[in-house]
Every structure is written in structure tokens, then in C-alpha cells.
């Protein structure tokens, strides 16, 4: 609802902290592949990466939380730490870099935003641009 889309107008991937994970990259690759199958080489896909203020993943930077959460979730403290959000603007930029470094098709258009939960304002971090140069 924060970007004005109706149900069915977008695929939404929700992850802990809104972070780009290996699974997200794999799923975006599948969506891009499906778009190409359905629309051919002219298929267009826009990716809006959105993090938000006051995110619970900000707690993941605390060593004690990492230890306890890792034990509870059956993962490693290091994995929990990779999802930490100290500054949502920085993590959006980092996750956009991760998308650029991935094997996703270069023609994807990506943009990054931070949603302020107190004001309801969606602030752009990075304007929409092609994922990376194909040259």
C-alpha cells in the first residue's frame, strides 16, 4: 500500500530486515525468467528495495542477541550479524550493491527506499536505474 499498488500488481518478497539474501536473488532470477518466458526479450522488471525505520533487525548488531537468536533459530551468530540494520539507508545501499554483484539479468531496473514508520513517508535512497551496464 505504501507504493500505491493493488493486490496482484507486484511480487513481494519479505525477509528479515528486508535484506537481500541468496534466496531473494534466486527468486528474483525466477521471476525475471518467468517474465521473459511470458513477454519475450522485451520483458521489463522493476525491483524496489524497501527497508524501514525502527526495524527489529537493528537488534541483530548486539553480540548477545546474535548468540541467543542463533541458538534459537538454529543458525550462526555470524549469519544473524549479516542481517543487522544499524542504518537503513546504509543497508539499502549495501543490498543494492549485492544485487548489482549478483547473477541477475543486467536489464532489471532497481531502486532503493526507506519507509519512515513514524511519518508514513517513503524516501528514495537511490533512483531507479538499470541494475548494471551490459557493456
Q: Write the pLDDT tens digit of every residue in 8-17.
A: 888 888 999 8
Per the rule left: phi > 0, alpha: psi between -120 and 50, beta: everything else, 2 is: alpha
Q: How many CB atoms lie within 10 A of CB 52?
A: 17
Residue 134 has pLDDT above 70, yes or no: no
Report, as an integer, the average pLDDT of 42-55: 90
In this predicted structure, what is the pLDDT of residue 111? 93
Amino acid at each position: 500500500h505504501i507504493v500505491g499498488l493493488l493486490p496482484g500488481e507486484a511480487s513481494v518478497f519479505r525477509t528479515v530486515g528486508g535484506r537481500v539474501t541468496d534466496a531473494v536473488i534466486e527468486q528474483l532470477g525466477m521471476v525475471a525468467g518467468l517474465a521473459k518466458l511470458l513477454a519475450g526479450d522485451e520483458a521489463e522488471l522493476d525491483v524496489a528495495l524497501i527497508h524501514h525505520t525502527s526495524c527489529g533487525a537493528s537488534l541483530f548488531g548486539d553480540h548477545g542477541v546474535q548468540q541467543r537468536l542463533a541458538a534459537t533459530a538454529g543458525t550462526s551468530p555470524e549469519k544473524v550479524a549479516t542481517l543487522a540494520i544499524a542504518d537503513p539507508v546504509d543497508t539499502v545501499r549495501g543490498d543494492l550493491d549485492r544485487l548489482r554483484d549478483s547473477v541477475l539479468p543486467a536489464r532489471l531496473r532497481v531502486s532503493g527506499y526507506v519507509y519512515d514508520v513514524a511519518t508514513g513517508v517513503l524516501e528514495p535512497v537511490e533512483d531507479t536505474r538499470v541494475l548494471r551496464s551490459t557493456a
